[in-house]
Structure 1
Amino acid sequence: MKLYQLHSKQSFPITPEVAWDFLSDPNNLKTITPPHMGFEILSDDDRAMFAGQIIQYTVSPFQGYKTKWVTEITHVKEGEYFVDEQRFGPYKLWHHKHFIKSIEGGVEMEDIIDYKIPFGILGQLAHPILVKKQLKQIFSFREQKLIELFGRLENSSKELHFKSF
Structure 2
Amino acid sequence: MKINITKQSGIYTLTSEQILPISPEKAWDFFTIPTNLDKITPKEMDFKITNNPPSKTYKGQIITYKIGILPLIKSNWITEITHLEDHQFFVDEQRFGPYAMWHHEHHFEEIEAGKVKMTDIVNFKMPFGIFGDLFGGALVKNKVRFIFESRFTILEKYFTS
Whole-angstrom distance in 1 between the partners of 2:147 and 2:56: 25
1:45 maps to 2:53? yes
The number of aligned residues is 151
Cα RMSD (Å)? 1.4
Which of 133, 137, 151 is equivalent to 1:127? 137
Q: Calculate the TM-score normalised by the size of structure 2.
A: 0.89
Pairwise CA distance, 1:46:
2.5
Pairwise CA distance, 1:98:
0.3
Report if the CA contact (8 A) 2:64-2:77 is conserved.
yes
Whole-angstrom distance in 1 between the partners of 2:143 and 2:15: 15
Give the 5 Å matches for 1:12-161. 12-105=20-113, 106-125=115-134, 126-128=136-138, 130-151=139-160
How far does the alpha carbon of each residue in 1:2-22 deviate from its partner, in whole angstroms, 9 at most, with x for none?
Answer: 111110000011000110011
Runs of 4+ in 1 over 3 A off after TM superposition: none
Whole-angstrom distance in 2 between the partners of 1:62 and 1:23: 26
How far does the alpha carbon of each residue in 1:102-161 deviate from its partner, in whole angstroms, 9 at most, with x for none?
Answer: 002400000001111002222212212x10110111111100000001139xxxxxxxxx
Report if the CA contact (8 A) 2:80-2:94 is conserved.
yes
The aligned amino acid for 2:21 is P
Pairwise CA distance, 1:32:
0.8
Pairwise CA distance, 1:47:
3.2
Of all paired residues, the percent bearing the same amino acid is 45
The gaps in structure 1 that reach 5 residues or longer are 153-165
The aligned amino acid for 2:160 is G
Whole-angstrom distance in 2 between the partners of 1:114 and 1:31: 23
